A = this chain, B = another copy of it.
Amino acid sequence: RSGEMAKSTQLIDNEVFRAYATYAAIVLLKMMLMSLVTAYYRVTRKAFVNPEDAASLGKGDSAKKYLRTDPDVERVRRGHLNDLENIVPFFGIGLLYALSGPELSTALLHYRIFAGARILHTFAYLIPLPQPSRGLSWAVGYAVTFSMAYKVLKTVLLL
């Protein structure tokens, strides 16, 4: 049993992997928070999509009027989908990158910039800030992920 545990902690004892795990957990949690923001706007704006959700606000026709879209709700949902489209590739490529043996300082630079850019992106989307705030923060995160993918393919390529 202790032999197994020793094996399982090898990866987590590696500093680059620890940095990856820290930032991956942070951006995944940030993405998950979008669900709570969506729920908050749905309840406060009274804008639902499922009849069983609106049912708590009234019966029959009085509940039906809450089955509607709301601009604030839709905005948060777009931000959430954008997170899925960008944070999920970061998680995957960032993991392969962490295992490809980068310098700790270089890895930290990638992870920190990505996390910062995605947090800025969320604020730019939800407030919303005028463009190009959202566009630039998106592009920075995108470029960081491409940079890591380049390092991964250069290191491991086996087609």
Q: Which residues of A contact B (CB under 8 A)?
A: 4-5, 7-19, 21-22, 24-26, 28-29, 31-32, 34-35, 49-50, 52-53, 55-56, 75, 78, 80, 84-86, 88-89, 91-93, 96, 98-101, 112, 128-131, 134, 142, 145-146, 149, 152-153, 155-159
Contact across chains for B12 and A4 when beta carbons are under 8 A apart: no
Given the contacts A12-B99, A84-B84, A92-B91, A22 and B145 also touching, CB distance less than 8 Å:
no
Which of B9, B25, B35, B98 makes the CB contact (< 8 A) with A8?
Answer: B98
CA distance A26 to B75 in the complex (A): 30
Contact across chains for A93 and B56 when beta carbons are under 8 A apart: no
* Residues in B neighbouring A19, C-beta threshold 8 A: 158-159
Contact across chains for A14 and B4 when beta carbons are under 8 A apart: yes
Given the contacts A7-B10, A22-B153, A157-B22, A142 and B35 also touching, CB distance less than 8 Å:
yes
| Chain B residue at minimal CB-CB distance from A31 | B89
* Residues in B neighbouring A146, C-beta threshold 8 A: 29, 32
Given the contacts A89-B32, A134-B52, A7 and B13 also touching, CB distance less than 8 Å:
yes
